[in-house]
Structure 1
Amino acid sequence: MVKDDLHTTVPTYFRCPISLEVMEFPVSLCTGVTYDRGSIQRWLDAGNNTCPATMQQLHTKELVPNHTLRRLIKIWSESVPTRPVKSAPSPQSLSRDQAEQIILQLEIDLKMIHSTPFPPFYTIGHNLSVLISFVNEGCDNRKVVTDAGGRLLPLLVSLIGKKQSLSDLCLLEKIVLFCNVIFKNRVKTDSELGIDNAKFPGIEMGMYDYKTIILTCLKQGRFELRIAAVEFLELMVKHLGSQMQQSSLIPEDDEMYFELLRLIVSSNRNSNALEASLNLLSRMVVFKKNRSKMVRVGGVKALTKALSEPELSPPLTEKVLKLLEIASSCREGRDEICGNELCVQAILKKVLKVSDAATELAVTLLWSLCCFSGDKRVAALVAESSGVAKILLLMQSNFSPNVRHMCGDLLKMLRFNSKGSCLSCYDTKTCHIMPF
């Protein structure tokens, strides 16, 4: 029996190098390393052609059952109930010293990745999982890990940036999640200490290209990894963008926009997925050249779908409306919105229904489409629905003078285009409100 750093009496050669759990169906690769069948099969199915433990190229992907080891594990497992076994402590039971030892070992392993033919990737993955769980258990635990963030983050960020170093999506997910934990909790800790901006020295952004690795996460990763990858990139831009141009941090080709919009469409009301995608898109379309790209790959349709969700929270509703407003600032965006009846109706429904900020954004959008662009299709949709009544109510409300002024312009535009319709005599439920 081998007693490891986490005080477990499970023999190390009974554990799968990938999952670190006791193997149920041990199988061996041509490299001689044994894994649990389920873990190694997922690795191979993801398109990998290397041995996870040694990173050697596989000349064959044949999995050979290790019957001898399976019998040994069975004998050992049957004997466990008859003898005391110390299991690995849960994150809650880790002491500060134990956590610091794991952090130190993680730092050593990360530094030796490029200097050894057999990088300890599975040990890195296990320690990252333990620390992610540990940091979420309380403020004291958070401080232990975030204090070490200054040393760990540059190593992890560089590992992600050197895309040739990582082919295991499971490990990549743990690295990205841990980086996000450090970013978020370091900022939270500094905020509690009265520090305005969290500093992350030692991260040289200019020498890395994140496009390939982020797109790999978005295309091939499971749903949680896709969300984590988007959060990672957004946090990088947010906290490190001052070190260099934000535009150089974000992949700006159509492929990136397509994957972000695909995450929105496939989010299935997952607020984390929506928020991560909307936040990153908002940073990308700050640059005018990017707005038409978002529209070209289906941005208006994806945002319309999100805006039409009945349980969309007020903050997310405001983010979607803001993105649509930005999209309407380019010709392609205005044409797409004006030609999308569902989009116009979804915008109109948010007036006076969500929040003051959402109402102001929706009115600004309608004004831009009807008055600034003079699109009669939008004016007709507003006139045919409850838009007139809402505009009349807004003109008598406590909204800003700018909102009331835009409502006045909208009402003039609608009356001008109505040509004898009921609008000309204000035949609405708010007919007692005089617009002029």
Structure 2
Amino acid sequence: MPGSLEPLDVGVQIPYHFRCPISLELMCDPVTVSTGQTYDRASIEYWVGTGNTTCPVTRSSLTDFTLIPNHTLRRLIQDWCVANRSFGVERIPTPKQPADPASVRSLQTQVSSQSNPSHTRLSAVKRLRGLARDSDKNRSIIGSHNVQEVLLPVIFSDSECDSAELKHESLALLVMFPLSESECAFVASQPDRVAHLVSLLFHASIEVRVNSAALIEIVVAGTRSLDLRAQISNVDEIFEGITGILNYPLAYPRALKVGIKALFALCLAKQSRHKAVAAGAVTALIDRLADFEKCDVERALATVELLCRVPAGCAAFAAHALTVPLLVRKILKVSDRATEYAAGALLSLCSAAEQSQREAVSAGVVTQLLLLVQSDCTERAKRKAQLLLKLLRDSWPEDSVVNSDDFGCSDVVPF
């Protein structure tokens, strides 16, 4: 094995023993395996995770899969990075060590034991939450020990010994993990538990409010029973609470992400959509539409289309001056799904009111729809566009491009 220095593209040379034998890249978190060889943690974890049971360098069998941090080598690498910072080399950060399974089990035992003082249990929850925040690896370790079964009873405990802070910290940790169907039923089947979550939607702390909304969305999405979903959606003030989260200032963007996920999940219950409209969801959706990230824009537009199927919702969207222009603008701009939802919402609005038809034409929807039907988008989106074109034909200005011979040569399917 060569002991010389190997050149990098940036003109700086990395000592050979600083490179991971697997990736050949500078090691950021060197660990030593049972054969005595050192690798970067991410590389050796991937190697073992794909079913390999031998040491990549020696080809000897790994007697165990314990990874021991090589702190000495890591410090040498960090010193080398600092010495070569003039070449643009950044110092590797000191990695946080993965959670120890034994420690995780001990912490969960402390949380679940009601004989422990409240402050001890709270400290254990906070330590678990800190570990879960550190890395996906830690979350996987904690989740493998069924932390959900420990936290759910704490969150919905009636014991006066369990402080509000303990419950709120447990809630914040719980929403970092998926719930099984039985765990969702544990919450959804008891009206008192759902009512408790709804009450938290109005808590003074925005973090508590958002975590409550996150758990509501997880439970609704994970519950197969349509009746239970409908019961949750019908709980008093649930839509007011979710809408309030959507309207929270953008300084807390997680509120937008969680809020739209919860609103969409609740609006899947047809009989509850009028409650969302009454709670101000229409204004919140339109006012925030430009602020969502891509995946959340899709979910927001899907929610708009769902609410447009309710007469009150359709009227409320039509009354908002920005609704039609924003929907037209989203066609072909975000994704195929977003285009389909926007076209569907416009179809509902324009079917209900001639004013919406005129607004759509003024916003340039005809050109967008012609491009849409000739694109590679979904068949459902094309069908909605075709129906919308037919509906808008009487609203086209006489000099519109779609009244010219060009329209006769388009790919629009005859009705």
Q: TM-score, normalised by structure 1?
A: 0.64
Q: Between Structure 1 and Structure 2, how many residues are aligned?
A: 318
Letter in 2 for 1:324: V
Q: Retained in 1: the 8 A contact 2:247–2:284?
A: yes
Alignment of 1:81-160 (within 5 A): 92=97, 95-109=100-114, 112=115, 120-138=117-135, 141-149=138-146, 152-160=147-155
Q: Retained in 1: the 8 A contact 2:350–2:356?
A: yes
Q: Classify the secondary structure of the residue corresponding to 1:210.
A: helix
Alpha-carbon spacing, 1:172–1:166, altered in 2? closer, same or farther (3 Å):
farther
**Superposition deviation, residue 260 in structure 1:** 0.4
Match of 1:265 in 2: 247
Q: Retained in 1: the 8 A contact 2:104–2:128?
A: yes
Letter in 1 for 2:125: L
RMSD: 3.3
Q: Classify the secondary structure of the residue corresponding to 1:357.
A: helix
**Superposition deviation, residue 129 in structure 1:** 0.6
Q: Retained in 1: the 8 A contact 2:108–2:150?
A: no
Letter in 2 for 1:100: R
- Structure 1: distance between partners of 2:195 and 2:378: 46
**Superposition deviation, residue 243 in structure 1:** 11
Alignment of 1:172-321 (within 5 A): 172-181=167-176, 183-184=177-178, 200=183, 203=186, 206-207=189-190, 209-239=192-222, 245-248=228-231, 250=232, 252-268=234-250, 270-309=252-291, 312-321=292-301
Of structures 1 and 2, the one with the larger relative CO (CA 8 A, separation 6+) is 1
Q: Does 1:407 align with 2:385?
A: yes
Letter in 2 for 1:315: C
**Superposition deviation, residue 164 in structure 1:** 6.5
Q: Retained in 1: the 8 A contact 2:111–2:150?
A: no
Segments of structure 1 that go 5 or more residues without pairing to the other structure are 1-89, 113-118, 188-196
- Structure 2: distance between partners of 1:380 and 1:231: 39
Match of 1:346 in 2: 326
Per-residue Cα deviation, 1:19-66 (whole angstroms, up to 9, x for no partner):
xxxxxxxxxxxxxxxxxxxxxxxxxxxxxxxxxxxxxxxxxxxxxxxx
Q: Retained in 2: the 8 A contact 1:166–1:172?
A: no
**Superposition deviation, residue 277 in structure 1:** 1.8
Per-residue Cα deviation, 1:263-287 (whole angstroms, up to 9, x for no partner):
1111517443222222222222222
- Structure 1: distance between partners of 2:313 and 2:97: 50
Alpha-carbon spacing, 1:207–1:129, altered in 2? closer, same or farther (3 Å):
same
Q: Does 1:423 align with 2:400?
A: yes
Q: Retained in 1: the 8 A contact 2:175–2:215?
A: yes
Alignment of 1:47-66 (within 5 A): none
Letter in 1 for 2:110: Q
**Superposition deviation, residue 325 in structure 1:** 0.7
**Superposition deviation, residue 315 in structure 1:** 0.9
Letter in 2 for 1:300: V
Identity of aligned residues (%): 20
Q: Retained in 2: the 8 A contact 1:370–1:378?
A: yes
Q: TM-score, normalised by structure 2?
A: 0.67
Alpha-carbon spacing, 1:94–1:394, altered in 2? closer, same or farther (3 Å):
closer
- Structure 2: distance between partners of 1:175 and 1:280: 20
Alpha-carbon spacing, 1:213–1:142, altered in 2? closer, same or farther (3 Å):
same
Q: Retained in 2: the 8 A contact 1:160–1:166?
A: no
Q: Retained in 1: the 8 A contact 2:318–2:349?
A: yes
Per-residue Cα deviation, 1:134-163 (whole angstroms, up to 9, x for no partner):
2344455334422332xx534532332345
Per-residue Cα deviation, 1:201-237 (whole angstroms, up to 9, x for no partner):
9947545612443233221241222111111122223
* 1:380 pairs with one of 358, 373, 379: 358
- Structure 1: distance between partners of 2:229 and 2:141: 30
**Superposition deviation, residue 255 in structure 1:** 1.4
Segments of structure 2 that go 5 or more residues without pairing to the other structure are 1-94
Q: Retained in 2: the 8 A contact 1:292–1:330?
A: yes
- Structure 2: distance between partners of 1:330 and 1:204: 29
